[in-house]
Every structure is written in structure tokens, then in C-alpha cells.
């Protein structure tokens, strides 16, 4: 996404949020959006394209599906009459293959909002993510789940 | 017709959002330790709050309010995991022990290796 | 039942459920046992209060309430971040003073 396109999107978003589509307000939105982009220019990578939008959409769809699944899973655990039988917490070290800060942040956020897992800490050399699992049966399955699910999708989006 | 449909949908979303909020609160009371409670608060809480904001977005019939509600949902989904992560990290590193039923703790072994003898 | 009556009933039911959720999170704030538990319950309480305001917005039709709800969510996030940092600093200080003390 070029920064000019991003500025236009942010200007329209601003006009929508303030509910005022007059020319002056659009200009003001573009000004604020442009300032934000100038401030963030080092963290926004300039190699996106519209083809990537499909992958972003797929990731978003996967995320919302997993979010609903995780809420239902928590509901099942919380309402279970015998709590000790279903809650088997564990803290597992999950090796990371994504490297950049943005990717790790996105992955950690998504892990927190998906079924049964919560990210606690990242090791200093950024190679291991420590994940708390609400009820873990099999550590290999948990690690494989994260690596094949979100991590693979995030890599597709960023590369 | 469409207006009625949107209102029915909004009402259902509102009740479901409220139910998820209640589930999160019940989880925070019933679960055994801080980390498991955090699962309930971050997931069910975010979904509950998000569903209620979605209900507001569906029932308002106003572009500005709709966009603000959607931005509010995105904001909630971004910030809830961050605050849960920060709180979990702060309490783990300051020595809040996981409950007895935690059957595996990789982070503890790492911290013990790094601790100067 | 027409749509207006339905949304009226739904918002009333939602308000009752959310009130129960508020009370439950207050119970956790009172019984603790540690500071982190209380901060977590407080975080949940802000989200529930935000939902409460959203339900009131639907019930009254005054969409200005939505802005209040979003501002409350922002405030809750900032409060949790600040309290988490406070827990961290206080815990590390206690550890430096005496390694046996558990904060």
C-alpha cells in the first residue's frame, strides 16, 4: 500500500468517524493521516500490494473464527461442574520462526485471543515464546497447531 | 423490514455479548489461579465487549456511529491481549506462582538457569 | 412482538446480566488474594462497564453514550498498563531488598 493511498483511506475514515464529509474536514483528515504516516514511516514497510489483501483477509477470517471458538471453549471450561477435571494449565516454550517485531507482536496477540492459549513472555534472543495453556493434553500438538496455523499465515502476509 | 431485521439482530447480539461478559466474570471467580483467570477475562471479556459494540453498530443506522463502533471493536481486540500479556509477564517475573495443578512450566526452568548463583 | 418491543426487552435482559457480571467482578476485587488478581478483575470490570454503557446507548437511542464507552475502554487499558508496570517495579524492588520475600 503506497502512502498516498493510505492517506486517502485515513482521510475517509476520519470523515466517517466525525460524520462530516465536507471538503475541509476531508482535508483535515488527510493532514492528520499524513502526519501519522510520516511519524510511523520507519515501521510501515513499503512492499505491500493489493494481491496481499486477499491473504490479509484470509488471516482476518481465520482470526475471527478462532476468536469465537476460544470464547466458546472458555465458556465450556468455566461452566464445567468439575473444574479440576478440565483445567490442566501448563507453560510451554514455543520456538519462533518469525523474526521481526511486528510479526512477533501480531502472533502473540493472536495467540492470546485463540483457544486455550495466552502468551506470557518472549525470550531475549526472540527465539522462544512462552505460552500459557488453559488445558493442555499434548505439548507437541499445541506447538504444531501454532506453527501451522497463525505463524504460517503471518509469514505469508509479511513476505 | 430491513430496519426490523437489524433491530432483532442487534438485540440478539446484545444479549449474547452480555452473556459472554457474565461468563468472563464467573470464570474470574471460579478458576484457580491468576493465569487461568486471565484466559477467561481476556477472551470472553473481549468477545463480550465486542459483541455489545457490534450490537450498537447494527442498531444505530448512522455511518459515523457505525464506524466509531467498528473502530472501538478493533481497539478492544488490540488492547485486551496486550494488557493481559503485560499483567501476566509482570506477575510472573515478580514471583506470582502458578497454581499447584500446573503440570509443566518451561518458563520457570529458564528463569532458574539465568539467575546468577 | 414488534422490533421496538423486542429491543427494549433485550436491552433490559442484557442490563440485568451485565449487572450480575459487575457484581461478580467486584467480588473478585474484594477477595483478592493478590494485587495482580485485583488488577485483572478491575480490567474486566471496565470492559463490563463499557458493555453496560453500550446497552444503555441502545436502550435510550442516544448514541453519544458510545463515545463514553470507547473512552472508558481506553481508560481501562491505560490503567491496566500503568498498574502492571507498578506491579513489576514494586516486585523487583522487593526482590532486590530480600530475595526470599514474595510480593
Q: Do A93 and B108 touch (CB under 8 A)?
A: no
Q: Taking the C-alpha atoms of B87, B76, C71 and C39 in order, what is their torsion angle to the nearest 10 degrees?
A: -20
Q: So where are chain B's domains?
A: 2-95
- Chain B residues closer than 8 Å to A67 by CB: 43, 46-47, 77
Question: C68 to chain B, minimum CA–CA distance in Å?
Answer: 11
Minimal C-alpha gap between C96 and chain B (Å): 11
Tell me if C92 is assigned to some domain. yes
Q: Do C58 and B48 touch (CB under 8 A)?
A: no
**How many domains in chain C?**
1
CA-wise closest residue to C75 among C45, C55, C52? C45
C102 in a structural domain: no
* Nearest residue of B to residue A78, measured between CA atoms: B27
Is residue C17 included in any domain, yes or no? yes
ipTM of the complex: 0.83
CB contact under 8 A, C50 and B52: yes
CB within 8 A of A120, min separation 6: which ones?
A91, A130, A131, A132, B35, B85, B88, B89, B92, B107
Peptide bond into C101 cis (omega under 30): no
What phi and psi, each to the nearest 5 degrees, are found at residue A92? -120, 140
Does position A43 have pLDDT exceeding 70, yes or no? no
Cα separation values, A150 from A25, A74, A156, B96, Å: 39, 20, 10, 29
Eight-state DSSP code of residue B90: H
C-alpha cell at C45: 470490570
Residue A131 bridge partners (DSSP): A92, A119
Interface mutation target, options C1, C19, C60, C63, chain B, most CBs of B under 10 Å = C63
CB contact under 8 A, A87 and B84: no
> Tell me, what's the pLDDT at B115?
54
Partner-chain residue, chosen from C51, C74, C81, that has the shortest CB–CB distance to B17: C51
Q: Is the pLDDT of residue A86 over 70?
A: yes
Tens of pLDDT along A4-23? Answer: 788 888 888 888 777 777 88
Number of helical (H) and strand (E) elements in chain B, helices listed first: 5, 0
Per-residue cell: A159: 513476505
Closest partner residue to A108 (CB to CB) among B31, B33, B85 is: B85
Which tens digit of pLDDT belongs to each residue from B26-61? 888 888 888 888 888 888 888 899 999 999 888 888
State the pLDDT confidence band at A48, using cuts at 50, 70 and 90.
Answer: low
pLDDT reported for residue C78: 92
- How buried is residue A17: exposed, middle or buried, by Cβ count under 10 Å (0-12/13-18/19+)? middle
Beginning with the edge strand found earlier in the chain, give each strand of the sheet holding A128-133 in spatial order.
A90-95, A128-133, A117-122
> What does DSSP assign to residue B105?
B
User: Is C31 contained in some domain?
Assistant: yes
Range of the domain at C71: 3-97
Give the length of chain A: 159
Q: CA-nearest residue of chain A to B47? A: A71
Give residue-wise pLDDT tens across range A94-151: 777 777 777 788 888 888 877 778 888 877 777 788 888 877 777 777 777 777 777 7
Tally of CB atoms within 10 A around A42: 6
Q: Is the CB of residue B99 less than 8 Å from the CB of residue A132? A: no
- How many Cβ pairs within 8 Å bridge chains A and B? 138
Query: Beta partners for A95?
Result: A128
Amino acid at each position: 500500500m503506497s502512502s498516498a493511498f493510505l492517506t486517502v483511506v485515513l482521510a475517509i475514515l476520519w470523515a466517517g468517524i466525525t460524520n462530516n464529509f465536507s471538503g475541509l474536514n476531508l482535508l483535515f483528515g488527510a493532514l492528520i493521516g499524513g502526519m501519522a504516516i510520516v511519524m510511523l514511516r520507519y515501521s510501515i514497510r513499503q512492499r505491500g500490494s493489493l494481491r496481499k489483501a486477499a491473504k490479509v483477509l484470509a488471516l482476518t477470517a481465520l482470526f475471527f473464527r478462532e476468536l469465537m471458538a476460544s470464547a466458546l471453549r472458555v465458556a465450556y471450561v468455566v461452566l464445567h461442574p468439575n473444574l479440576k477435571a478440565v483445567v490442566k494449565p501448563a507453560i510451554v516454550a514455543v520456538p519462533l520462526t518469525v523474526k521481526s517485531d511486528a510479526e512477533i507482536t501480531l502472533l502473540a496477540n493472536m495467540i492470546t485471543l485463540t483457544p486455550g492459549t495466552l502468551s506470557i513472555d518472549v525470550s531475549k534472543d526472540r527465539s522462544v515464546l512462552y505460552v500459557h495453556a488453559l488445558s493442555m493434553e499434548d505439548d507437541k500438538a499445541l506447538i504444531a497447531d501454532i506453527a501451522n496455523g497463525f505463524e504460517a499465515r503471518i509469514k505469508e502476509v509479511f513476505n | 423490514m430491513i430496519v426490523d431485521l437489524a433491530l432483532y439482530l442487534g438485540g440478539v447480539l446484545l444479549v449474547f455479548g452480555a452473556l459472554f461478559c457474565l461468563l468472563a466474570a464467573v470464570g474470574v471467580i471460579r478458576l484457580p489461579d491468576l493465569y487461568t483467570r486471565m484466559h477467561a477475562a481476556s477472551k470472553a471479556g473481549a468477545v463480550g465487549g465486542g459483541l455489545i459494540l457490534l450490537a450498537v453498530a447494527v442498531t444505530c443506522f448512522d455511518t459515523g456511529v457505525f464506524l466509531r463502533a467498528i473502530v472501538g471493536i478493533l481497539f478492544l481486540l488490540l488492547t485486551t491481549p496486550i494488557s493481559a500479556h503485560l499483567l501476566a509477564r509482570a506477575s510472573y517475573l515478580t514471583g506470582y506462582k502458578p497454581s499447584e495443578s500446573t503440570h509443566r512450566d518451561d518458563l520457570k526452568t529458564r528463569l532458574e538457569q539465568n539467575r546468577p548463583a | 412482538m414488534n422490533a421496538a418491543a423486542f429491543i427494549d426487552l433485550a436491552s433490559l435482559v442484557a442490563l440485568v446480566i451485565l449487572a450480575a457480571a459487575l457484581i461478580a467482578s467486584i467480588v473478585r476485587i474484594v477477595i483478592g488474594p493478590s494485587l495482580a488478581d485485583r488488577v485483572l478483575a478491575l480490567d474486566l470490570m471496565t470492559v463490563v462497564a463499557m458493555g453496560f454503557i453500550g446497552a444503555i446507548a441502545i436502550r435510550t437511542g442516544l448514541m453519544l453514550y458510545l463515545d463514553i464507552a470507547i473512552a472508558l475502554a481506553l481508560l481501562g487499558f491505560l490503567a491496566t498498563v500503568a498498574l502492571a508496570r507498578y506491579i513489576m517495579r514494586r516486585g523487583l524492588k522487593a526482590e532486590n531488598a530480600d530475595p526470599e520475600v514474595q510480593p
